[in-house]
Amino acid sequence: MAGSLKKLREQINQIAPNRSVSSDGTIGDAAHVSRKSDHNPWIIENGIGVVTALDVTHDPIHGCDAQKLVDSLISSKDQRIKYIIYNGKIISSTFKPWEWRPYTGVNPHNKHCHISVNGEKEKYDSALPWQIKL
Ligand SMILES: [Zn+2]
Protein backbone atom coordinates (compact mmCIF):
# COMPACT_ATOMS: atom_id res chain seq x y z
CA MET A 1 0.00 0.00 0.00
CA ALA A 2 1.31 3.44 -0.96
CA GLY A 3 2.99 5.24 1.95
CA SER A 4 0.86 8.36 1.51
CA LEU A 5 -2.35 6.33 1.94
CA LYS A 6 -0.99 4.48 4.97
CA LYS A 7 -0.38 7.89 6.51
CA LEU A 8 -3.87 9.10 5.55
CA ARG A 9 -5.56 6.03 7.07
CA GLU A 10 -3.45 6.39 10.21
CA GLN A 11 -4.56 10.02 10.63
CA ILE A 12 -8.22 9.09 10.04
CA ASN A 13 -7.98 6.29 12.62
CA GLN A 14 -6.45 8.67 15.14
CA ILE A 15 -9.30 11.15 14.74
CA ALA A 16 -12.05 8.49 14.61
CA PRO A 17 -10.72 5.39 16.40
CA ASN A 18 -14.18 3.77 16.65
CA ARG A 19 -15.18 4.29 13.03
CA SER A 20 -16.67 1.45 11.01
CA VAL A 21 -14.37 -0.09 8.43
CA SER A 22 -17.12 -2.13 6.73
CA SER A 23 -16.66 -0.40 3.36
CA ASP A 24 -12.92 0.24 3.71
CA GLY A 25 -10.68 -1.19 1.05
CA THR A 26 -7.18 -1.17 -0.30
CA ILE A 27 -6.22 -4.04 -2.59
CA GLY A 28 -8.69 -4.99 -5.33
CA ASP A 29 -11.08 -7.85 -4.83
CA ALA A 30 -12.01 -10.30 -7.59
CA ALA A 31 -14.51 -7.81 -9.02
CA HIS A 32 -11.83 -5.14 -9.33
CA VAL A 33 -9.21 -7.29 -11.06
CA SER A 34 -10.85 -7.20 -14.46
CA ARG A 35 -11.32 -3.45 -14.25
CA LYS A 36 -8.90 -0.60 -14.49
CA SER A 37 -8.57 0.39 -10.87
CA ASP A 38 -5.90 1.83 -8.63
CA HIS A 39 -6.89 -0.89 -6.15
CA ASN A 40 -5.00 -3.23 -8.43
CA PRO A 41 -1.26 -3.14 -7.76
CA TRP A 42 -0.30 -2.09 -11.31
CA ILE A 43 2.72 -0.12 -10.13
CA ILE A 44 5.59 -2.55 -9.59
CA GLU A 45 8.40 -1.56 -7.26
CA ASN A 46 11.29 -4.03 -6.83
CA GLY A 47 8.97 -6.84 -7.91
CA ILE A 48 6.21 -5.92 -5.46
CA GLY A 49 2.88 -4.39 -6.52
CA VAL A 50 1.88 -1.05 -4.99
CA VAL A 51 -1.78 -0.20 -4.35
CA THR A 52 -2.46 3.51 -4.88
CA ALA A 53 -6.13 3.72 -3.83
CA LEU A 54 -7.96 3.73 -0.53
CA ASP A 55 -11.68 3.43 0.28
CA VAL A 56 -12.82 5.03 3.54
CA THR A 57 -16.19 4.08 5.04
CA HIS A 58 -18.71 6.88 5.60
CA ASP A 59 -19.53 6.65 9.31
CA PRO A 60 -20.47 10.10 10.62
CA ILE A 61 -21.93 8.70 13.87
CA HIS A 62 -18.46 7.50 14.83
CA GLY A 63 -16.70 10.64 13.68
CA CYS A 64 -15.75 9.74 10.12
CA ASP A 65 -17.83 11.83 7.73
CA ALA A 66 -16.70 10.99 4.19
CA GLN A 67 -18.11 14.27 2.84
CA LYS A 68 -16.04 16.29 5.31
CA LEU A 69 -12.97 14.19 4.55
CA VAL A 70 -13.42 14.70 0.81
CA ASP A 71 -14.10 18.45 1.20
CA SER A 72 -10.97 18.93 3.29
CA LEU A 73 -8.83 16.97 0.83
CA ILE A 74 -10.15 19.05 -2.06
CA SER A 75 -9.55 22.36 -0.33
CA SER A 76 -5.99 21.25 0.49
CA LYS A 77 -5.37 20.54 -3.24
CA ASP A 78 -2.70 18.13 -2.03
CA GLN A 79 -0.42 17.25 -4.96
CA ARG A 80 -0.53 13.58 -4.04
CA ILE A 81 -4.22 13.31 -4.98
CA LYS A 82 -4.97 11.83 -8.40
CA TYR A 83 -8.76 11.66 -8.09
CA ILE A 84 -11.54 11.22 -5.54
CA ILE A 85 -14.93 9.53 -6.01
CA TYR A 86 -17.84 10.09 -3.65
CA ASN A 87 -21.63 10.02 -3.83
CA GLY A 88 -21.94 9.59 -7.59
CA LYS A 89 -19.33 12.23 -8.40
CA ILE A 90 -15.65 12.26 -9.34
CA ILE A 91 -13.08 15.03 -9.01
CA SER A 92 -9.60 14.90 -10.52
CA SER A 93 -6.43 16.91 -9.97
CA THR A 94 -5.50 16.68 -13.65
CA PHE A 95 -8.59 16.28 -15.88
CA LYS A 96 -10.82 19.38 -15.43
CA PRO A 97 -8.86 20.02 -12.22
CA TRP A 98 -10.85 20.21 -8.97
CA GLU A 99 -14.21 20.31 -10.71
CA TRP A 100 -16.87 17.75 -9.68
CA ARG A 101 -18.22 15.64 -12.54
CA PRO A 102 -20.87 12.89 -12.53
CA TYR A 103 -19.44 9.43 -11.87
CA THR A 104 -21.06 6.77 -14.02
CA GLY A 105 -19.31 3.65 -12.69
CA VAL A 106 -21.25 0.65 -11.39
CA ASN A 107 -20.67 1.49 -7.74
CA PRO A 108 -22.01 4.95 -6.84
CA HIS A 109 -19.61 5.18 -3.87
CA ASN A 110 -22.24 6.29 -1.36
CA LYS A 111 -21.04 4.10 1.52
CA HIS A 112 -17.40 5.06 1.17
CA CYS A 113 -15.20 7.57 -0.57
CA HIS A 114 -12.39 6.53 -2.89
CA ILE A 115 -9.04 8.32 -2.94
CA SER A 116 -6.43 7.58 -5.61
CA VAL A 117 -2.92 8.98 -5.39
CA ASN A 118 -0.53 9.90 -8.19
CA GLY A 119 1.61 7.23 -9.80
CA GLU A 120 4.98 8.86 -9.12
CA LYS A 121 6.84 7.33 -6.20
CA GLU A 122 7.80 10.66 -4.62
CA LYS A 123 4.08 11.46 -4.43
CA TYR A 124 2.41 8.13 -3.59
CA ASP A 125 5.04 7.26 -1.00
CA SER A 126 5.21 10.70 0.62
CA ALA A 127 4.19 10.30 4.27
CA LEU A 128 3.76 14.01 4.95
CA PRO A 129 0.70 14.69 7.13
CA TRP A 130 -2.53 15.31 5.22
CA GLN A 131 -4.74 18.35 5.93
CA ILE A 132 -7.97 16.60 6.85
CA LYS A 133 -11.15 17.27 8.81
CA LEU A 134 -13.70 14.62 9.68
ZN1 LIG B 1 -12.23 2.46 -4.32
Residue 41 pLDDT: 85
Residue 40 pLDDT: 85
Kindly give the distance from the C-alpha atom of residue 46 to the centroid of ligand 1, in angstroms, as a whole number. Answer: 25
Q: How confident is the model at residue 39 (pLDDT cuts 50, 70, 90)?
A: confident
Kindly give the distance from the C-alpha atom of residue 27 to the centroid of ligand 1, in angstroms, as a whole number. Answer: 9
What are 67-98's pLDDT values in tens digits? 999 999 999 999 999 999 999 999 999 999 99
Residue 107 pLDDT: 86
Q: What are phi and psi of 31, to 5 degrees?
A: -70, -30
Kindly give the distance from the C-alpha atom of residue 107 to the centroid of ligand 1, in angstroms, as a whole number. Answer: 9
47 versus 65: which is more confidently predicted? 65
d(CA 96, CA 121): 23
What are 15-27's pLDDT values in tens digits? 999 999 999 988 7
Mean pLDDT computed over every residue of the chain:
92
Kindly give the distance from the C-alpha atom of residue 54 to the centroid of ligand 1, in angstroms, as a whole number. Answer: 6
Kindly give the distance from the C-alpha atom of residue 77 to the centroid of ligand 1, in angstroms, as a whole number. Answer: 19
46 versus 17: which is more confidently predicted? 17
Helix, strand, coil abundance in the chain, percent, nearest 5: 25, 25, 50
pLDDT higher than 60, residue 32: no
Residue 29 pLDDT: 59
| Residues pairing with 91 in the sheet | 84
Q: Taking residues 102-116, what's their average pLDDT? A: 92
Kindly give the distance from the C-alpha atom of residue 74 to the centroid of ligand 1, in angstroms, as a whole number. Answer: 17
